[in-house]
Amino acid sequence: MSSKEKRNKLVIVCSKGSLDMAYPPLMLATTGAAMGMEVHLYFTFWGINMISKKTVGSLKISPVGNSALPMPNILGMLPGMTSMLTSMMQKKMDKIKMPTIPEMIKTAKESGVKFHACSPTLDMMGLKRDDLIPEVDDIIGAATYLDLASEDAITLFI
Amino acid sequence: MSSKEKRNKLVIVCSKGSLDMAYPPLMLATTGAAMGMEVHLYFTFWGINMISKKTVGSLKISPVGNSALPMPNILGMLPGMTSMLTSMMQKKMDKIKMPTIPEMIKTAKESGVKFHACSPTLDMMGLKRDDLIPEVDDIIGAATYLDLASEDAITLFI
Amino acid sequence: MSSKEKRNKLVIVCSKGSLDMAYPPLMLATTGAAMGMEVHLYFTFWGINMISKKTVGSLKISPVGNSALPMPNILGMLPGMTSMLTSMMQKKMDKIKMPTIPEMIKTAKESGVKFHACSPTLDMMGLKRDDLIPEVDDIIGAATYLDLASEDAITLFI
């Protein structure tokens, strides 16, 4: 490969189940797909929340444990603060016309992004294929993920 | 490219706004630049705190939500604990002659590291170019980031 | 390199010291090694907890600050909840026959995975070689890590 030849593959591990860390992989995935890249998302650990029917529409932001937030932990831990902060962020997202997570997943899927669920995580969480959103293509293990990543892909762990 | 040819480009996404997760990308960036690498930092989501005038000099560590810390959450959430822990870490950093975040940013910039702010994040946070530190080179979107990453770069999401 | 030639090297930064984020790098490392890959783990910041004699056997999960958990922060911060949640996850891991972290480290080492500790982090934490588990191969800095990563490796920051 000459140094000017571009890589055309993007393989992202999605390991977080919070609203703020669900946006970056989906924004990169939809952008990559629009640029003609082959894009794979591998959902593992908390990232399963992004593709579980029960949670995909209600991802939240934590008001504690994130020192980037201006809110003191002693306020953040109060009941109702998680919902309030999540709703505030969702409003900001709406304002800049950013789609919701379920909408981004739909767009990603339509653009050809592949959705892979991590097999041992599903076992650990006691989840089955039916508990996952229909956009999921397959259930794979770490070996298949590494095989995808080894094909000269841009790799990220989010 | 033969397998012995080395990659000479480093493209890091900075997505966290805490003191502890601000050090790794800046340490890698300054080291990479000193080794002659072309280095790009792409600041997105909470990572904007690392390049915002208002927050760059006052990044903090959270005393809760990090089970690597020996402190129980019920103590960590008390007022004053974030400042205390942040000040303790800063002292440890001083002791090993580790520069502060603003100093590392200055060094990185002088070594040729490129600073890119994520456009949709700025819109979401209601921030303008003037709210960012002068070291920021430009405001770009996910497509430009992916373009940089696709040029056979070492890619990391921090 | 033709686009069909596969990369055969995996270089992972381990920066977290929690039980949930200790599993992914070790699962990928052992799988990669079993596939014949050359695998390097670079332990930095909180990741040092994964290779410190004092903490390797007692990594925990935080019940607060992770909005993927169904538990409200006001409950999660109570004394005893970290142990309870950690013990619950460990039981789920046992049930799917997932080894413990010390067992995975042993397996990884036997499969040829290389363990590198980050030099400035040890200085900052006041730790010495003797405080680290025997599986650690060496103590290196960011330049050596970047050198490993630049050899056409799959790179991840966890």
Q: A10: which chain B residues are within 8 Å (Cβ-Cβ)?
A: 146
Note whether C67 contacts A17, CB cutoff 8 Å.
yes
Across residues C102-128, what is the average pLDDT? 97
Structure tokens at C60: 């925990």
Question: By percentage, how much of chain C surpasses pLDDT 90?
Answer: 90
Q: Which of B2-11, C30-39, C88-97 has the lowest mean pLDDT?
A: B2-11
DSSP state of B46: G
pLDDT tens digit sequence for C135-154? 999 999 999 999 999 999 99
Of A2, A68, A157, the CB nearest to B46: A68
- Average pLDDT of chain B? 94
CB B95 within 8 A of CB C47: no
Q: Is B71 on the interface with C (CB under 8 A)?
A: no
Q: Is the pLDDT of residue B70 over 90?
A: no
Candidates B143, C15, B129; CA nearest to A30 is B143
pLDDT value at residue B144: 98
- Average pLDDT of chain A? 94
Note whether A3 contacts B152, CB cutoff 8 Å.
yes
CB C54 within 8 A of CB C135: no
pLDDT-derived band at B2 (thresholds 50, 70, 90) equals very low
Q: How many CB atoms lie within 10 A of CB C54?
A: 12
pLDDT-derived band at A1 (thresholds 50, 70, 90) equals very low
Q: Is the pLDDT of residue A35 over 90?
A: yes
pLDDT value at residue B4: 56
pLDDT-derived band at B3 (thresholds 50, 70, 90) equals very low
For C86, name the nearest residue in chain B, comparing CA atoms only. B67
Indicate the pairing of strand A154-157 with strand A138-140: unpaired
Q: Is C90 on the interface with B (CB under 8 A)?
A: no
Across residues A86-114, what is the average pLDDT? 96
pLDDT value at residue B101: 97
Query: How distant is the Cα of B117 from the closest Cα of chain C, in angstroms?
Result: 20
Q: How many CA atoms lie within 13 A of A134 on its CB side?
A: 2
- Give Cα C92 to chain centroid, integer Å: 19
Note whether C92 contacts A125, CB cutoff 8 Å.
yes
Across residues A63-79, what is the average pLDDT? 90
Helix (H) or strand (E) holding B13: strand B9-14
Q: Is the pLDDT of residue C2 over 90?
A: no
- Average pLDDT of chain C? 94
Range 104-123 of B in CB contact (< 8 A) with A = 120, 123
pLDDT-derived band at C71 (thresholds 50, 70, 90) equals confident
Across residues A96-104, what is the average pLDDT? 96
Q: Is the pLDDT of residue C1 over 60?
A: no
Q: Is the pLDDT of residue C36 over 80?
A: yes
pLDDT value at residue B5: 79
Q: A44: which chain C residues are within 8 Å (Cβ-Cβ)?
A: 24
Question: By percentage, how much of chain A surpasses pLDDT 70?
Answer: 97
Note whether B65 contacts C60, CB cutoff 8 Å.
no
Q: Is the pLDDT of residue A76 over 60?
A: yes
Across residues A54-77, what is the average pLDDT? 92
Residue entry with tokens 């969480």: A125
Number of CB pairs, chain A paired with chain C, less than 8 A apart: 110
Range 10-29 of A in CB contact (< 8 A) with C = 13, 15-19
For A43, name the nearest residue in chain C, comparing CA atoms only. C24
Q: Is the pLDDT of residue A104 over 60?
A: yes
* CB proximity list for A132: less than 8 A, separation 6 or greater: A51, A52, A53, A117, A122
pLDDT value at residue B21: 97
pLDDT-derived band at C4 (thresholds 50, 70, 90) equals low
Neighbours of chain A (3+ CB pairs under 8 A): B, C
pLDDT-derived band at B84 (thresholds 50, 70, 90) equals very high
Across residues B44-52, what is the average pLDDT? 98
Q: C1: which chain A residues are within 8 Å (Cβ-Cβ)?
A: 1, 152
* CB proximity list for B37: less than 8 A, separation 6 or greater: B8, B9, B10, C146, C150
Q: C74: which chain A residues are within 8 Å (Cβ-Cβ)?
A: 77-79
Across residues B130-146, what is the average pLDDT? 98
- Give Cα C65 to chain centroid, integer Å: 20
Neighbours of chain C (3+ CB pairs under 8 A): A, B
Number of CB pairs, chain B paired with chain C, less than 8 A apart: 110
